[in-house]
Amino acid sequence: MSGQFLLEKDGDMWNCWRVGLFLMILVLGIATSELHAGKYNPVLSIGDDGPVWSDLPGVDGKTHSLSDLNKTPYIVVVFFSNSCDVAEVYEERIQKITSKYGEAKKGVSVVAINVSKEEADRLPAMRSRAKEHGFKFAYLFDESQEIARKYGAIWTPEFFILNPERKVVYMGGYDDTSAEKFVKHHYLMDALEALRQGETPKVMETPAIGCRIKLERKRRRTSK
C-alpha cells in the first residue's frame, strides 16, 4: 500500500481523539441548548425556575416583587402592552381568568408586565388604561426590559404559569386564535384547571400570538 495513504500510529490516535472530542462537544452543545430553551421560547424550558422581578412600579402607585406573592400557589405572568391591538383583543380574556381564578382563596394571581418604551405604553398611559377598563390584575412596568429578556418573551400577550415552587409549568398563548368565536383550544385555562386539580397539564408549551416586543439593543462597553 502506498505510504501516502498511511498514518503513523501516533498521528492516527491523535486524529481519532480530535474527532471524538469534536463529536462530544457537538452533542453537549445540542443537549445544553435543549435544556435551556423550549420549543417556542429561546430562553426557558418547562421546569425552569421562573425569573424573579423586584420593585417594579405598578398602576396602583406601589412597587411589586415576585416575593410579594409567596402565599399564592400559582402565578400567571402575562407580557402585555397598551399599544398592541392583539393584546387589546385579549384584554377581556385576561380579565376573565382574573375573575375566575384571581381571588386569594382560588390560589392564582395574575400579573401583567409591560416593557414597551413607546409613549402609549409608559406608566401614565398604563394607569389611564387600567382605570378606564377596570383592570383587576396587577399591571407593572419594567423600563429596563430585563424581565422580558429573562423570560424569553417575544410577544404581547405571552403567558407563563409558575407553580408553588416557582417553576415554569406552562408558557405560550392563551388559546389558539385571537378570534374568540373560532377558538378550539383553551390552553391557559386548561393548564390552570389541571394544575389546581393536582394534575400535569396535557399541553405545556404553545406558540404565542401577538405583537412583537421591541427590545432595545444593548450597547457594548468600549474600553478607554
The answer to whether the CB of 110 falls within 8 A of the CB of 145 is no
Residues 77 and 180 in one domain: yes
Residues 16 and 71 in one domain: no
Residues 123 and 198 in one domain: yes
The DSSP-derived string for 86-150 is HHHHHHHHHHHHHHHH-SGGGTEEEEEEE---SGGGSHHHHHHHHHHHT--SEEEE-TT-HHHHH
Q: In the prediction, which pLDDT does 3 show? A: 45
The verdict on residue 189 lying in a domain is yes
Residues 24 and 124 in one domain: no
What is d(CA 100, CA 91) in angstroms, rounded to the nearest whole number? Answer: 14
Q: In the prediction, which pLDDT does 106 show? A: 81
Residues 72 and 180 in one domain: yes
Q: 211-212 and 155-156: which strand pairing?
A: antiparallel
Cell numbers of 168, please?
A: 415554569
CA atoms within 13 A on the CB side of 121: 24
CATH code of the domain containing 187: 3.40.30.10
Whole-model pTM? 0.81
Cell numbers of 186, please?
A: 383553551
The verdict on residue 42 lying in a domain is no
Which residues form the domain of 23?
3-35
Q: In the prediction, which pLDDT does 221 show? A: 58
Which of 55, 74, 53, 44 lies closest to 158, judged by CA? 44
The verdict on residue 217 lying in a domain is no
Beta bridge partners of 139: 112
Residues 22 and 108 in one domain: no
- How far the first Cα of the chain sits from its last, in Å, is 61
Residues 176 and 138 in one domain: yes
Q: In the prediction, which pLDDT does 15 show? A: 47
The verdict on residue 224 lying in a domain is no
The verdict on residue 77 lying in a domain is yes
The verdict on residue 41 lying in a domain is no
Residues 24 and 67 in one domain: no
Digit-by-digit pLDDT tens for the chain (224 residues) are 444 443 444 445 434 444 343 344 333 343 333 444 679 999 999 999 999 999 999 999 999 999 999 999 999 999 999 999 999 999 999 999 999 987 666 899 999 999 999 999 999 999 999 999 999 999 999 999 999 999 999 999 999 999 999 999 999 999 999 999 999 999 999 999 999 999 999 999 999 999 999 999 876 655 55
Residues 15 and 85 in one domain: no
Q: In the prediction, which pLDDT does 38 show? A: 77
The verdict on residue 44 lying in a domain is no
Residues 31 and 66 in one domain: no
Structural domains in the chain (count): 2
Residues 170 and 112 in one domain: yes
The verdict on residue 93 lying in a domain is yes
Residues 28 and 65 in one domain: no
